[in-house]
Amino acid sequence: FNLVWPIKPSLLLGKGSDLYSCLCMWLYFSTLWGHAAPQCPASCHCTWDTGTVLCSDAELRAIPEGIPPETVSLHLERNYIREIPESAFSHLVQLRDLYLSHNRIDSLATGALRHLGPELRMLDLSHNHLRHASREEFGSTRAKTRLYHNPWHCDCALQELMETLNLEPETVNGIICESSVRGGEHTGQSLVKLLDSGVNFCSLQRKTTDIAMLVTMFVWFFMVIVYVVYYVRQNQAEARRHMEYLKSLPSPRKTPTETDTLSTGF
């Protein structure tokens, strides 16, 4: 910024102390103005009257630092961003529109979007590399959400997320299963249409969990039986060894006194 301070020619021609005081005042007010003015992140363009921060096509590889807390609309489209940290937008309490399309985002930190305020009305994550997502990452946001053109792996967590989010109706059919927990059975099909037709990825997960529990219980029962059999056999072996030891002991002999007593009795 350029701040013009009106300096009269008479001051420049006056005493040196007057010129020195004038320069000090100029520096003081320049510093105050610099601190008061909001700063725009590097590689971005900011429009303060609308609260818009444009960081599109800026070759960014991460969420830029120093995004003003007064931001209302944040554009980060067409960059090389790969992940969204948990605290990336926690200070943007006035944010209404968040555009993250056409990046390389393949992971969301737990609660990455949970801190977005209730004012958020648009969340665009289309055209990225997302395969997995869950309710924990999105929190309770009610913003209209775009998730199409991502290589989704359709499973129970994604199904529960779809039932929670406010998906944009115009693009919801573009959420395609590139893979699923059922193998290649649903590859290339719209997740919404699959759910509407009665497909339930969560029931398959519960069935798999039940089978795993049954297998675990069977293994545990088998181990108990093996231990009991081993314990019984060990006791039998110990009993046999003890009997053999008793049999090997010499039988007690009668003393002469006992023999005389028996003879006298007859």
- Model confidence over 22-33: pLDDT tens digits? 555 656 544 444
Is pLDDT above 80 for 193? Answer: yes
Classify each residue of 229-250 as buried b or exposed e, where b means 16 or more C-beta atoms within 10 Å of its C-beta.
eeeeeeeeeeeeeeeeeeeeee
Tokens representing 167 are 């998906």
Is pLDDT above 90 for 264? Answer: no
> Mind listing the pLDDT tens digit for each residue in 202-238?
986 554 454 556 667 767 777 888 877 777 777 877 7
**What pairs with residue 53 in β-bridges?**
46, 74
pTM (predicted TM-score): 0.65
Which is higher by pLDDT, 204 or 175?
175
Q: What is the pLDDT of residue 204?
A: 63
Of the ranges 13-17, 69-73, 85-89, 242-246, which one carries the lowest mean pLDDT score?
A: 13-17
